[in-house]
Amino acid sequence: MGIEDDFYATIKLKTGEEIFAKVAASEEEDRTMLIVSNPIIVNEITGRKGVVGYSLEPWLKTTTDDMFILNLEDVLTISESSDIEMIMMYQTFVREPLDKGTNKKNITKTMGYVSNVNDAKEILEKLYKSS
């Protein structure tokens, strides 16, 4: 029995689920197991101009466990990640505990990007003319 070094990876399961986690492979008798730490699901947040960000959520929402064992036979594919931005988002998510019930936020205009220059100019001109 041996455990390989940890690495970050995206794992596509045969069920269709796609998770990102810190992974270690372990050989036990005649099969290979993956030990995944704090697996998360990454969702794209899209706006009018395409992808504007990502939301992260735990893979399993009704448990407080942070390590899971996957049988390699249940994995469709695995891709090691060296994407620093993704790894940093993952590490931040793992470090900051979720407050139950307050982790869902709707995107509002007060959070940042409101419009492009032409749209903003048009809105401001309408406001100016109506005053």
pLDDT tens digits, one per residue of 27-71: 888 888 999 999 999 988 887 777 778 888 999 988 889 999 999
Mean predicted confidence (pLDDT) in 121-126: 83
pLDDT digits (tens, 9 = 90+) for 9-37: 999 999 999 999 999 988 888 888 999 99
Q: DSSP characters for the chain?
A: -EEPPPEEEEEEETTS-EEEEEEEEEEETTEEEEEEEEEEEEEEEEETTEEEEEEEEESSSS----EEEEEGGGEEEEEE---HHHHHHHHHHHHSPPPTTTS-----GGGS----HHHHHHHHHHHHHH-
Domains in the chain: ranges and CATH = 2-130 (2.30.30.100)
